[in-house]
Amino acid sequence: MKTVNAKRGTAFTAIMALSVVLMSACGSDNNAGSGNESSASGNATANAGGSSGSETKEPVKTTLVLNWFAEPEHGGNFAAQEKGFYKDGGLDMTLLPGGPSVSATQIVASGKAEFGMANADDILVARQEGIPVVAIGTAFQKSPQALFYHKNSGINGFGDLNGHKVYVASTASFWLFMKNKYKLGDAQEMKYTGSLVNFVNDPKAVTQGYVTSETYTLQEQGVDFDVLLNADSGYNIYAGVYFTTEDMIKKHPDEVKAFMAATVKGWDYYKDHADEINPAIQKQNPDMSLDMMKFSAEKEMDFAFGGDAATEGTGTMSEARWTELQQQLMDVGVLKKKEDIANVFTKDFLPGK
């Protein structure tokens, strides 16, 4: 069973952890890609656009820190790796798996990697703490995170959670939002550990999880359940957001452009070829079966390619969505001050921009 308690979506909890790297992230002009200043941008550009002569450029060593262990939610990146899209763009890409003790934000901010993945709320929290990360695209238009409940438990909507045990990270931003909006003062908060045992054994219990993973596990166990998508509560964040640093954007914009072009191309390939790419993902995460990967890939398609992505292209983001999220985090006290959303995200590096 996959544990997901530290996976994504605990922006408030991350504040203290992010503070650790303030000195290294903000006190130096050498955040990400500092070792490649003289060649990274030029190499990536030459390869991304095709070589103009006989000269062959060496690919730029580049690292993406995933937001969890390798899984179909990173399918586009593995497709870009397997099909040579990163290499074609001049990037010698390493996909570094995440996990419960891995902070992509910290690693990228400290200059040990050029790119990372996180939730949209994590990006806003990091910037509040003075860490100059910038969102440059997103894997998912909405988050597959949800609350799972047993059918016939009397729950039909978020307002029905009062009186039920809810296994949830109590400081998770989505939960703070739900408690405030739906007046869930009588919901019994229970410590979320990633295990489904307590939920399965208590027909009145509720647990957080992901429809791309826990759904498979619960179906395998024969549990009769339903879900409330976090996005349907009004807390509709971008998930699997790709980010880099302000320094990287300033010094190596062509490398950033090449990264996003290859990543988007990878996602568009994975959409129709998940079964081909999943074995490569499994090499990094052998504990996840190919059957579960197939299930997860099918489940995530609407999250990745629906919404604005259907009309504006894979990876797109909007000022309205980011502005709304910032206000929601202000309302529940996760953020203390607003900043110009133009500093938080950019679409300049998406294909066609």
Could you report the per-residue pLDDT of 168-197, keeping only the tens digit for each?
Answer: 998 899 999 999 999 999 999 999 999 999
**Residue carrying structure tokens 């074609």:** 88
pLDDT of residue 56: 67
Same fold, 14-143+237-343 and 145-233: yes
pLDDT of residue 5: 37
Residue ranges of domains in the chain: 14-143+237-343, 145-233
- DSSP per-residue letters across 84-136: THHHHTTEEEEEE---TT--HHHHHHTTS-SEEEE-HHHHHHHHHTT--EEEE
CA dihedral sign, ordered 121, 126, 130, 132: negative
Does residue 252 surpass a pLDDT of 50?
Answer: yes
Q: Are strands 165-168 and 225-229 parallel, antiparallel or unpaired?
A: unpaired
Question: What average pLDDT does the chain have?
Answer: 89
Q: How confident is the model at residue 57 (pLDDT cuts 50, 70, 90)?
A: confident
Does residue 49 surpass a pLDDT of 90?
Answer: no
Tell me how long the chain is.
Answer: 353
Alpha-helical runs (H) found in the chain: 14-19, 22-26, 40-48, 75-82, 85-88, 104-109, 120-128, 173-182, 197-201, 214-220, 246-251, 253-284, 290-305, 309-312, 319-331
In whole angstroms, what is the distance from residue 113 CA to residue 336 CA? 28
The hierarchical CATH code for the domain 145-233 is 3.40.190.10
The CA angle 155-160-166, to the nearest 5 degrees, is 85
Average pLDDT of span 199-218: 98
The CA angle 86-88-89, to the nearest 5 degrees, is 65
**Residue carrying structure tokens 């690292």:** 63
Superfamily of chain region 14-143+237-343 = Periplasmic binding protein-like II (3.40.190.10)
Does residue 25 surpass a pLDDT of 60?
Answer: no
Contacts of 287 (CB under 8 A, 6+ apart): 2
Instruction: Report residue 215 as tokens.
Output: 């759904």
pLDDT of residue 2: 40
User: Which strand (E) or helix (H) includes residue 60?
Assistant: strand 60-65
Q: What is the distance in angstroms between the CA of the first residue and the CA of the last residue of the chain?
A: 41
